[in-house]
Chain A
Amino acid sequence: AQRVTQPEKLLSVFKGAPVELKCNYSYSGSPELFWYVQYSRQRLQLLLRHISRESIKGFTADLNKGETSFHLKKPFAQEEDSAMYYCALVNNAGNMLTFGGGTRLMVKP
């Protein structure tokens, strides 16, 4: 069975501080992971995927197979980063996306 764990329900940082949202996964196959974000009063949307190795809005995430982690990082948090963040893993068949419980990021001025 596949499982995604986000240990922090709430993460509060000051503007300009580094931020790391933790994500750990459990999956017997080759993992493919995503970060989705939901800003206030907006739809859930894709932020980034590990296979693209891209930086979106200053966020990056590296897949660490040894630690089975896919932490989301940003060196300098902005107030507009405040949102709900979900880590997700897709199965080998590509038809089931498993989400973590989510972390609410609050960036204080």
Chain B
Amino acid sequence: DGGITQSPKYLFRKEGQNVTLSCEQNLNHDAMYWYRQDPGQGLRLIYYSQIVNDFQKGDIAEGYSVSREKKESFPLTVTSAQKNPTAFYLCASSVTSGRSNEQFFGPGTRLTVL
């Protein structure tokens, strides 16, 4: 069950700390995405990247940052500026960002702020 991996599976953070979530894919996909999943709210897009060294803000980018230095990696940093960071975070990738391209999802990381 490879393809997209996320680590760690569970992450605990103290208030005021930054934390970085890992997302790696070996599918040779150009596009990668980060979503936040909250109960009853579905998935909301945080950031996306259509190509290496390029990324754009999604609907809820405030308090988050990303980088895309390598095609296979798209780490997400949750900064201390994010007011309510406790959530389930999903990473996804697609061949390109074309309309009919299926997004493939990772297993997710559950972040809890103590």
Residue positions of A touching B, CB distance < 8 A: 4, 6, 9, 32, 43-46, 49, 51, 86, 90, 92-102
State in angstroms the CA–CA spacing of A86 and B41 once bound together.
Answer: 10
Q: How large is the interface on B (under 10, 10 to 19, 20 to 34, 35 or more residues)?
A: 20 to 34
CB distance from B58 to the nearest CB of A (A): 7
Cβ of B48: which chain A residues have Cβ within 8 Å of it? 95-96
Residue positions of B touching A, CB distance < 8 A: 31, 33, 35, 40-45, 48, 50, 56, 58-59, 90, 96-108
Give 8 closest A-B pairs by Cβ, nearest first. A94-B99, A99-B42, A95-B97, A99-B43, A44-B105, A101-B42, A94-B98, A46-B102
B58 touches A96 (CB 8 A): yes
State in angstroms the CA–CA spacing of A9 and B41 once bound together.
Answer: 10
CB distance from A39 to the nearest CB of B (A): 12
Most chain B beta-carbon contacts within 10 A, residue among A51, A86, A90, A92: A90
Given contact pairs A51-B100, A94-B100, a sample of 6 additional A-B residue pairs in the complex whose CB atoms are under 8 Å apart: A92-B99, A94-B98, A97-B45, A98-B45, A98-B59, A102-B40
